[in-house]
Structure 1
């Protein structure tokens, strides 16, 4: 039983209440550790530590901040296998996915923002021959970063890296469902020599810890990734306090496949974009729209491949689909399988709980489900399921597919498969989405803005957008 501790003021400490929560391994369904059941008092302690560290950290040179962050990135690389195993054990995802994507991306996040601050420039506007206006950016102070359970270290570092790079000090709350890599990360920060109080990590439940971070009078900004319902609650709390907000929320993303696509590539990538990380990625394309001339061909090939995906222990390198993150989430996803059937959907494959042999027999496994025959505006096609459940729908015209694709309350990402450049531009322009991938999926350049429209969030992360979010701009006008 491994007991996780909070990271406050540069030290690993127990929660002030002395209470802990169980940490369950999704692959086996068994408790394997404990995490702090922290409260507002722990958050207040973390905020005070961050406040004490801010004056020095905010004035630390960019070169020195960069050097420390790069050292943390080096330590992530050096501990790749340990971090990948911890991520897999905590989340249920195949270890090969954690090893190839999650942990390397966490390192890349730290490196990207550590080096970006070395290349920032200031704006200057000369007003005729009378004055010059200079724009300067200053860190905000203590900021709150709240990250989700689906890509734990990946998204944790995506938030704290630009915050730290900009000269802020941070109070961070990782998901209580997947806290282990954030705990290991705190150890790496200590090893790297990150000054005390610059980063503080408080573990615990959202209503107690997350809410305390949001409503604390001394947190200047909140960066949150998670469910839309929680995002609305955060906005309701933070907006009247005039805090800066960045909200990356849910998605119900369309995957549009035209008849002139590269069929094999669209098929292979669509399988990945449907079921990667057990469908537990906000960017997964859970609604697949297929142009009618190739509908049956694509459907049959997709179902054949989906039904053969290997489900099993995440620690087996041959596993393609691991465990869902928790028993509660498995129950939620299964409820949508039932809803889809009640709405008249034809289950083409999957949708059954899988019992894996051996020590993983009590884990949370589900065979990926594929439905057809559902109306585009039914609950299954409108509500975020966040699991390995997809629907297939034929379409005839661009107008038809745009109407269906844009019909949801979400607008995070979309994917378009076509060899027609003009069509790709037309469809991309008219999709209500913050991100459109053409002939690819989840291809990320960290310089680009990331975020959604409608109920998928507010604000943008990534690149200069992230660094701008964590700073305050000031105009200085100097008259000649």
Structure 2
């Protein structure tokens, strides 16, 4: 007998509530195709209700009147609660987005530290006293901006949520989150845990639904002070324009096509190991996926051969199994997108397929959305698979001969989120890092982040930064206060000619 599928509502004003519309959305286990849950599809009125709850909480004495130290203590408590429930969260996140449980554990276990780091910033922050000309005292007052709307993606549901949620809460702002309709379950659970731990109702609200309806309604809501989106570049253009009508602050972390420059002085086996890690972690569904391996001609053939062998040896299966190294992509739609790019690589671009490119033949995986780790060689900059984001376990390899050519190839793309360099020449490493047109560079590593390190891109990869003091500071308005310290009488219109300055 099949277990009854749970129905989840919206999380507004500290509790789970039904949506105003009756239609529900299925949440699918991507490894099996089974329905995990059904979620509410929030209407414009539901979104308005959530935003108004967040606005009321922002103005409430319970939240706005809380001292920085008291708020920091609360956020540290939330980190402790998060940590105490990690086993449950690992399991739910893996079921919902299909990442192997070992990947999920390694990623999600770090997230409480993002809360603790921002709790520290809440205590440490200072306003400024600014030296100015004349007998004046000038100081600044920073005030939280208000309600933050946040649309999170399916690939790293909790990590990307926490990168925004931590500074939002630490700064004294409130939020309404719309998680991806594919992966809402851990976000709903975290909201419940945080309110149970003492977060005031309305500070953290969750509305579930589709991007073109629920997400649109949230992004264009006139009461938002800030709009945060992690997603595709086109979604960023659309929602960014909507939020811009209301002059909301924005942080948009969008698409990527990460170039990895492999020089001939670097160990090829290590370069291949990093390439596989960068390209296939999360089934390649990461905005910083190392999808463009740009390899020096002296080691190109060896690199291609070894990367193909590495890809063919990766264990594919149900992500709940700790021995599995590659899980499914998130949906049938995403699976078809990756397979379409395999066709493009072969038929339109004429590249050489050296590994993968198919659905696994194992019949036990037939119900899920699996794609073999895919490697294309002999790829040029004019090919679509070099330029366009695939968002799957898919990597291309391109040859270069000189440092200048390698840099030009790396920068020959509309995206600019991250880049990576493999070399033992430290002078070259710094020189090349300075010339890459992106927001993040890894030298002899990949996909590393830290709560203190700013994260974000340039060009079509978005605007603004997450993490670090940069993200925390973007949650405040700065007010300048100018105090005249001179008791001498002032009357501009009595003796205008003798006044030394107008402003």
Report the equivalent of 1:242.
Answer: 247
Match of 2:490 in 1: none
Distance in 2, Cα, partners of 1:456 & 1:211: 20
Question: In 2, distance between residues paired with 1:384 and 1:390?
Answer: 10
| SS in structure 1 at match of 2:298 | helix
* Residue in structure 2 matching 1:67, options 54, 67, 73: 73
Larger-Rg structure: 2
What TM-score comes out, normalization by structure 1 length?
Answer: 0.97
Equivalent pairs counted in the alignment come to 478
Q: Secondary structure at the match of 2:148?
A: strand
Residues 394-450 of structure 1, C-alpha deviations (whole Å, 9 max, x = no match): 110011111111111000000001111111122111111111111111222322221
Moved over 3 A (4+): 355-358
- Is 1:405 the counterpart of 2:410 in the alignment? yes
**Match for residue 234 of structure 2?**
229
Given that 1:139 and 1:166 are in contact with CA atoms closer than 8 Å, whether structure 2 keeps it comes out as yes
Structure 2 residue 324 is matched with structure 1 residue 319: yes
Structure 1 residue 106: Cα displacement: 2.6
Q: Equivalent residue of 1:135, what SS? A: strand
> What SS class does the counterpart of residue 81 from structure 1 fall into?
helix
Q: 1:254 aligns with which of 255, 259, 265?
A: 259
Secondary structure at 1:353 match in 2 = coil
1:211 is aligned to 2:216: yes
> SS state of the match for residue 354, structure 1?
coil
The corresponding residue for 2:431 is 426
Note the 1:161-172 alignment, pairs <5 A: 161-172=166-177
Question: 5+ unaligned residues in a row in structure 2: which ranges?
Answer: 486-503
What's the offset of the Cα at 1:389? 0.8
Secondary structure (helix, strand or coil) at the match of 1:445 reads: coil
Any conservation in 2 of the 1:313–1:356 contact (CA below 8 Å)?
no
The corresponding residue for 1:339 is 344
> Structure 1 regions of 5+ residues with no counterpart?
none
- The structure 1 residue matched to 2:206, chosen from 187, 201, 210, is 201
Mapped partners of 1:161, 1:325: distance in 2: 26
Shift of 1:128: 5.1
Aligned to 1:77: 83
**2:48 maps to which residue?**
44
Residue of structure 1 in register with 2:488 after alignment: none
1:126 and 2:131 are equivalent in the alignment: yes
* 1:21 paired residue number: 25
Alpha-carbon offset, residue 129 of structure 1: 5.9
Alpha-carbon distance in 2 for matches of 1:135, 1:152: 36
Match of residue 7 from structure 2 = 3
> Which segment drifts farther, 74-83 or 285-294?
74-83
* TM-score, scaled to structure 2: 0.93
Q: Which residue of 1 aligns with 2:355?
A: 349
1:99 equivalenced with 2:105 (yes/no):
yes
Q: Tell me the CA shift for residue 367 of structure 1.
A: 0.5
Q: How far, CA to CA, are the matches of 1:364 and 1:44 in structure 2?
A: 35
Give the drift of 1:267. 2.1
- The superposition leaves residues 111-145 of structure 1 with CA deviations (integer Å, 9 ceiling, x where unpaired) of 22122211112222122562222122101111211
Q: What is the rounded CA distance, in whole Å, between the counterparts of 1:221 and 1:334 in structure 2?
A: 37
Instruction: Pick one of 460, 476, 480 that aligns with 2:481.
Output: 476
Which deviations, in whole Å up to 9, do the C-alpha atoms of 1:218-274 show, x marking residues without a partner? Answer: 111101110000000012212222111111100011011001113333221221001
CA contact (8 A) 2:268 2:299 kept: no
Deviation at 1:357, TM superposition (A): 4.4
Question: Can you list the C-alpha shifts for 1:276-303, whole angstroms capped at 9, x where unaligned?
Answer: 0000010111000111111112111111
Measure, in 1, the Cα distance between the counterparts of 2:127 and 2:362.
57
The SS at the match of 1:176 is coil
Please point out which of 294, 297, 305 is paired with 1:300. 305
Q: Matches of 1:157 and 1:276 in 2, distance apart? A: 20
Partner of 1:139: 144
Query: What do residues 373-412 of structure 1 show as CA deviations (whole Å, max 9, x unaligned)?
Result: 2221211110100111111111100111111111110000
SS of equivalent to 2:131: strand
